[in-house]
Amino acid sequence: MKRRDFVKQTSLASGLFFVPSFIQAFDGIVGAAKGYRRLVIIQLSGGNDGLNTIIPYRNDIYYRNRPKIAIQRNTQLRIDGELAMHQNLTPLKRLYDNGYVCILNNVGYPNPDRSHFRSMDIWQTASHSHEYLSSGWLGRYLDRHGDEPYNGIEISDKLSLALTGDKSSGIATNNAGRLYRTAQDPYLKLLIKHHRDEHLSEHNLGYLYKTLIQAESSAEYIYETTRKGRSYQRYTNDSFGKQLKTMAEFINSGIQTKVFYTSHEGYDTHAGQLKTQPRLLNVFSKNLEAFVNDLQKGGSFDDTLIMVFSEFGRRVRQNAANGTDHGAANNVFIVGKNLKKNGIYNGLDDLRRLDANGDIRYEIDFRSIYSTILRNWLGVQDELILNDQFEYLDFI
């Protein structure tokens, strides 16, 4: 069995058994790992309607295209002379007013794909729209920098493509104790003992056993380190709130992980958008503020950068079901204490010059955001990870 086939096909790939080998070096390490930079990615899955999130409240074209679902002027949270936030983003507005938020508008890519699965693949792999890659951009980051003291953790029970590399990948878990207990399964212990006894080579499935050993070591390290972590805030009692609470506990424990990933589901608002999206934005915003406050109290916020994205925006014109259909360019939020530019990074594109499908045209290639984060925040050569060069932005 080839390594690549094992990585792609095994049912173990989504979680416990995707662990880079260097994690073994952390066996028995105690204490916080402060002073290095970490990246947190929050994915709004389903295609959040960016136009009802960051609202062009002075633009009549917006109201004409959305007679029933436009956010009314008297409820919005004004942020400048042209744009406002949805009223359920009050916690995000507080972070914005503190200088912790940069809003990038019109983010997308050439020849956009409006399929959830394909567009998410493009965002997670950093590919061109005509290109199909089998590794994620963060997975390739782990591949290239796997000798450093970090790992990538997705707070989930399934590993996304973004954290999947060719040689090293992240690990998916939303419960360190459960992860550790899984690694102590007698059958897995027997497999590991068999490998150690037989000294199998990589050509006769030694890679499989090596991965099991690394997974066992990683699970123990994560469990022993993160159980010292604390959360200082109250989160909503739903899956997203629990995910961010777990992530805050992990980070505040001092775990030597530089990339964290999680998702908030449900943003595919084809119908009844005014009932669904406000509820989701309320949950997102409350938990994001709690997460930032948690990291501040734990002394971890200075070294953390948060990026919030969705796989595409929505059509400018509402549909017959009082919802919106799949669109193209969207807004991206960057949250952190050390932003070079906070507030509105660039204005919303002209709604009079939509593309042929009635969508906002992209101005910023999303891979320029990745390039900027890789080079200016994580301090690595972005073009080697993204397999191309993209314009650098000025937000960090």
Q: At residue 374, what are phi and psi to the nearest 5 degrees?
A: -60, -45
Taking the C-alpha atoms of residue 152 and residue 19, their distance in angstroms, rounded to an integer, is: 9
320 in a structural domain: yes
For the chain, how many structural domains are there in total? 1
Q: H-type helices in 227-380, by residue range?
A: 239-252, 273-297, 366-372
The reported pLDDT for the residue numbered 21 is 36
Q: What is the pLDDT of residues 274-329, one digit of tens each?
A: 999 999 999 999 999 999 999 999 999 999 999 999 999 999 999 999 999 999 99
Question: What is the reported pLDDT for 17?
Answer: 41
Residue 50 within any structural domain of the chain: yes
Which DSSP letter does residue 346 get? S
Confirm whether 202 is domain-assigned: no
SS3 of residue 331 by DSSP: strand
Is 50 exceeded by the pLDDT of residue 23? no
Give the separation between CA 32 and CA 30, rounded to whole angstroms: 7
User: Comparing C-alpha atoms, which of 12, 25, 31 is closest to residue 171?
Assistant: 12
Q: What angle separates helix 273-297 from helix 90-97, to the nearest 10 degrees?
A: 40
Query: Residue 46 CB: number of other CB atoms within 10 A?
Result: 23
> What is the model's pLDDT at position 307?
99
Give me the half-sphere count of Cα atoms (radius 13 Å) on the Cβ side of residue 104.
Answer: 27
Give the helix ranges, DSSP H, for 253-365: 273-297
Given this model, what pLDDT does residue 123 score? Answer: 98
User: Per-residue pLDDT tens for 148-202?
Assistant: 334 799 999 999 999 999 888 888 999 989 888 877 766 566 655 655 555 545 4
Higher pLDDT, residue 193 or 98? 98
In a domain, 72, yes or no: yes
Torsion over CA: 276, 281, 287, 290 (sign): negative
Would you say the C-alpha torsion 237, 238, 243, 244 has a positive or negative sign? negative
With respect to residue 175, please indicate whether it lies within any of the assigned structural domains: no
CB 314 within 8 A of CB 324: yes
Residue 274 Cα distances to 53, 259, 271, 318, angstroms? 12, 34, 9, 11
pTM, whole model, 2 decimals? Answer: 0.88
Contact status, residue 151 vs residue 394, Cβ threshold 8 Å:
no
Which pLDDT score is estimated for 393? 98
Residue 307 counted as domain residue: yes
Residue 290, pLDDT score: 98
Ordered alpha helix ranges (H), the chain: 3-9, 60-65, 90-97, 116-125, 137-144, 176-183, 186-198, 206-226, 239-252, 273-297, 366-372, 382-386
How confident is the model at residue 374, as a pLDDT? 97
Q: Round to whole Å and give the CA distance between 256 and 204.
A: 33
Q: Highest-confidence range of 16-25, 89-98, 201-210, 213-222, by mean pLDDT?
A: 89-98
The two tokens of residue 231 are 């959360």
What is the Cα 152 distance to its own chain's centre? Answer: 11
- pLDDT tens-place string over residues 209-268: 666 666 677 788 888 889 888 999 999 999 999 999 999 999 999 998 989 999 999 999
Structural domain boundaries enclosing 362: 37-150+233-386
Query: Does some domain include residue 10?
Result: no
Weakest mean pLDDT among 40-49, 206-215, 268-277: 206-215
Top pLDDT among 174 and 118 is at 118
Kind of pairing between the strands at 101-108 and 83-85: unpaired
The residue that leads in pLDDT, 30 or 211, is 211
Alpha carbons 226 and 245: distance in angstroms, whole number:
12
Nearest alpha-carbon partner for 42 in 342, 332, 395? 332
| Per-residue pLDDT at 59 exceeds 80 | yes
Structure-token pair, residue 11: 């049912």
Of 337, 239, 345, 357, residue with least CA distance to 293: 337
Residue 195 pLDDT = 55
DSSP category for residue 273: H
Mean pLDDT of all residues belonging to the chain:
87
- 8-state DSSP, 377: I
Residue 13 lies in a domain: no
CATH code of 292's domain: 3.40.720
- Is residue 50 very low, low, confident or very high in pLDDT (cuts 50, 70, 90)? very high
Cβ atoms 305, 336 nearer than 8 A: yes
Torsion angles phi and psi, residue 148, rounded to 5? -95, 160
Residue 33 pLDDT greater than 50, yes or no:
no
| 328-352 pLDDT per residue, tens | 999 999 999 999 999 999 999 999 9
